[in-house]
Amino acid sequence: MKKLVEPLLLAAAVALPFLLAATGNEFYTGMATRVMIFGLAATALNLIVGYGGMVAFGHAAFFGLGAYGVAILMQHGVTSAWIAWPAAVALAALAALGVGLVSLRTRGVYFIMITLAFAQMLYYLVLSLKNYGGDDGLPLANRSTLAPLDLGSDTGFYLVTLAVLAAALFAMKRLAASRFGSALAGIRQNETRMEALGYPVFGLKLACFVIGGAVAGLAGALMANQHGMASPNLLYWTQSGMLLVMVILGGVGHRYGGLIGAVVLLGLEEVLAGVTDHANLGVGLFLLAVVSFAPRGIAGLLPKGSRE
């Protein structure tokens, strides 16, 4: 029975855009795509925070860089996703490598502050790129092309996003059970002991940080396509805060934590925005309630067997 939950959820997710189209609610296809993209970015952050035990507060920088990677290449005529998306991932990974090399020498609050500082530096760097839109952001002429698939239709783009997200979640499962994942679990619980055992702790943490940054870059590449532009706001610190809130809401260290957090947070914002001008207040209260009554997040409330 438990084995059926994931395939059933996946099947429902595949069917969703067709149902929405049949009922004249195409508008929600775009919104669902946006939720999945944020879910992917939050999952990437959860790898760093929940699996690697590093509370990073600048993840939006890698997300935004992925978006800019796609937008800048498109301005120079590169429209193929087969080239632009890997390039966006590489750009984000490279930035994560640089940031990680410096900031992973610190711990705790210092690590939070230094990752925040780097992210803000990258934000202002992007703002200063006058040739690439400056503070207006950089629009995309079209969506990327992913021959032979069609990204032009909202349903096509939704399905590709879903496939990317599902692949990332599957990879996360493999990673958690791998030697690398075991080593991360050890580092999370007792870093000094791992060093005494002979593990290259710094390198392992750096690898985790870079993978998280790279996946955030992929989410950013999708975001640019969904949004039709790369905006500096994608790199802003409030965006990093939102990703962290998603992870905490959904469940730190739970494979589905990032996705659940994105669904709940964005869903809540959408619902509350319809009834009040003070949606953020409601979101804040909800976050307080989750942290107080379900410290392991919403995923922590799921039956035990569902945890990997």
For position 80 contacting another protein by CB under 8 A, the verdict is no
For position 170 contacting another protein by CB under 8 A, the verdict is no
For position 166 contacting another protein by CB under 8 A, the verdict is no
Write phi, then psi, for 253 (nearest 5 degrees).
Answer: 80, 5
For position 199 contacting another protein by CB under 8 A, the verdict is yes
For position 105 contacting another protein by CB under 8 A, the verdict is no
Closer to another protein at the Cβ: 211 or 243? 211
For position 189 contacting another protein by CB under 8 A, the verdict is yes
For position 178 contacting another protein by CB under 8 A, the verdict is yes
CB of 204 to another protein, least distance (A): 7
For position 180 contacting another protein by CB under 8 A, the verdict is yes
- The C-alpha torsion from 277 through 223 and 9 to 178, rounded to 10°, is -120
Handedness of CA 186, 116, 209, 291 (dihedral sign): positive
The residue from 196, 238, 275, 303 that contacts another protein (CB under 8 A) is 196
Span near another protein by CB under 8 A; candidates 13-21, 40-48, 156-164, 192-200: 192-200
CB of 58 to another protein, least distance (A): 24
CB of 51 to another protein, least distance (A): 12
Judged by phi (left if over 0) then psi (alpha if -120 to 50, else beta), residue 11 lies in alpha
- Cα–Cα dist 206/101, whole Å: 7
- Cα–Cα dist 243/215, whole Å: 13
CB of 191 to another protein, least distance (A): 11
- Alpha-carbon 41 to chain mean position: 0
Closer to another protein at the Cβ: 181 or 297? 181
For position 201 contacting another protein by CB under 8 A, the verdict is yes
For position 15 contacting another protein by CB under 8 A, the verdict is no
For position 197 contacting another protein by CB under 8 A, the verdict is yes
For position 200 contacting another protein by CB under 8 A, the verdict is yes
Span near another protein by CB under 8 A; candidates 52-60, 129-137, 158-166, 188-196: 188-196
- Cα–Cα dist 303/308, whole Å: 11
- The strand pairing partners of 139, in sequence order, are 229
Q: Exposed/middle/buried for 148, CB within 10 Å: 0-12, 13-18, 19+? A: exposed
CB of 240 to another protein, least distance (A): 25
- Cα–Cα dist 161/155, whole Å: 10
The residue from 2, 3, 76, 179 that contacts another protein (CB under 8 A) is 179
For position 295 contacting another protein by CB under 8 A, the verdict is no
- Cα–Cα dist 18/24, whole Å: 10
Listed in sequence order, the residues at least 6 apart from 91 whose beta carbon sits closer than 8 Å to its beta carbon are 65, 66, 68, 69, 217
The residue from 193, 271, 276, 280 that contacts another protein (CB under 8 A) is 193
Closer to another protein at the Cβ: 109 or 196? 196
Residue (of 281, 208, 224, 210) closest to 64 by Cα position: 224
- Cα–Cα dist 186/189, whole Å: 5
The residue from 25, 128, 142, 190 that contacts another protein (CB under 8 A) is 190
Q: Residues in the site for another protein, rule: CB under 8 A?
A: 174-175, 177-183, 185-186, 189-190, 192-201, 203-204, 207, 211
